[in-house]
Structure 1
Amino acid sequence: MEHIKTYNAKELKTPQGTIIVEGPLSGEKVASFEFHKDLVAFRQPHQQHKAISEIADLPEGRIIVARHHNTIIGYVTFLYPDPLERWSEAKLENMIELGAIEVIPQFRGCAVGKNLLQVSMMDDAMQDYIIITTEYYWHWDLKGTGLNVWEYRKIMEKMMNAGGLEWFATDDPEISSHPANCLMVRIGKRVDNESIQRFDRIRFMNRFMY
């Protein structure tokens, strides 16, 4: 499958200043920006900066960033599902995972996450993909936000809805291990039925075991 990436951008005015939301960017471009020290959700900022620069150059990889002047203050990643996760077993070239979305505390509540997803979906090529994201409550910044799991889940779901992702049922053990965890999916308009059926079989792998 040919991975077409079309650059899009928009300006977002916030009480903290105007930011640019843009992408998908090349690894070189991502590396050329500063990376805010508060982007610590997944690993140390310098390591995460390097990781997303590398994802940007993968054939299917997509990095959309939100930057204030020359500093990345938020980003979202899209790439093939982790080989260790059940989603990779579908062996679908037209399925990518929204792997990480992060915004620094200073810009939270300014609709940055929502805009990162909207800019991601401006690219018409996204209509060729099944896009999934797995939400686990243990990745959420409950301490930093002061929200409980259900309040955070509601905000997360609303943000994903802005990118056209909707809640889908699954029997995946990790997702099923806590009721706040969830699978969210966006099926592009040009995705064929066979791909959808293969994806559905992966969503429910235990249905014939009873």
Structure 2
Amino acid sequence: MVSESMNIELLSLFSTQQLPYPLHSGLTCFGENDEQYSRLQRLLAEPYTQVCIAVHEEKVIGYATLLPPEPAERWSSLPYVRIMGVLEVAPPYRGRRVAYSILQHLFRNDEDIERRIVLAFEYYWHWDLKNSGLNAYEYKNMLKQLLMLSGMEEVYPDDPDIHAHAANFAMARIGREISAEQMQRFFYMINPRVW
């Protein structure tokens, strides 16, 4: 977990709640600071949304989103599937297990998350390779290890964006209360050719 001397607070926000703090100026991987803040507020206005934030000195220094699939996505017909969207930590706070703590908080043992399959698509063009000092494959390995520590396992969708580059990958976390039938339907949708 995050070092207690840093005094970082982890909060879960759900639909209809507001972001209580501004974003750290270093959170720019997915757009300008104000743009990201507005996007997060719009997401929180949507149903079935969860945003986990890490707060230090009254600023959001990192966050992850958990969303229902978009209506056009094939998994939208599975009400138990959620998509893990953005996971970002401001550069000054990286290497301090903030991302790990966010994911642990997001996936903490509660009844709701155990009735879900959480799907994460990881595309190298979203990664902050410049500030990380890693190449795409090193970053992939680091991110895959982080997600595995959070209970996710690699899945192999027949998704063109995943196959667009060898560093891209997908992972899923299967909740303990997911039935065999739900799992089978999910894996069939991930890659029907395997079935």
Task: Answer yes or no: same fold by TM over 0.5.
Answer: yes
1:117 and 2:117 aligned: no
- SS of corresponding position for 1:161: helix
What is the aligned-residue identity percentage? Answer: 32
Does the 8 A contact of 2:14 with 2:48 survive in 1? no
| Cα deviations by residue, 1:127-180 (Å, 9 ceiling, x for unpaired) | 000100000111111111110111100110111112211111222111012121
**Long gaps (5+) in structure 2:** none
AA partner of residue 79 (structure 1): L
1:139 maps to what in 2? Answer: 126
**Matched residues in 1 for 2:119 and 2:170: separation?**
7
Aligned counterpart for 1:172 among listed residues 143, 156, 159: 159
- SS of corresponding position for 2:3: strand
Does the 8 A contact of 2:117 with 2:175 survive in 1? yes
**Matched residues in 2 for 1:12 and 1:22: separation?**
14
- Taking a change above 3 Å as real, the CA distance of residues 26 and 36 of structure 1, as seen in their structure-2 partners, is farther
1:67 maps to what in 2? Answer: 55
- SS of corresponding position for 1:99: strand
1:99 and 2:85 aligned: yes
1:35 maps to what in 2? Answer: 23
Q: How far off is 1:27 after superposition?
A: 4.9
**Matched residues in 2 for 1:44 and 1:83: separation?**
27
- Taking a change above 3 Å as real, the CA distance of residues 85 and 169 of structure 1, as seen in their structure-2 partners, is same
2:2 maps to what in 1? Answer: 12
Of 165-174 and 104-113, more deviation after overlay is shown by 165-174
CA RMSD of aligned residues (A): 2.0
| Cα deviations by residue, 1:49-102 (Å, 9 ceiling, x for unpaired) | 1221232343310000001021000000000123344433xx111100001100
**Matched residues in 1 for 2:25 and 2:57: separation?**
15
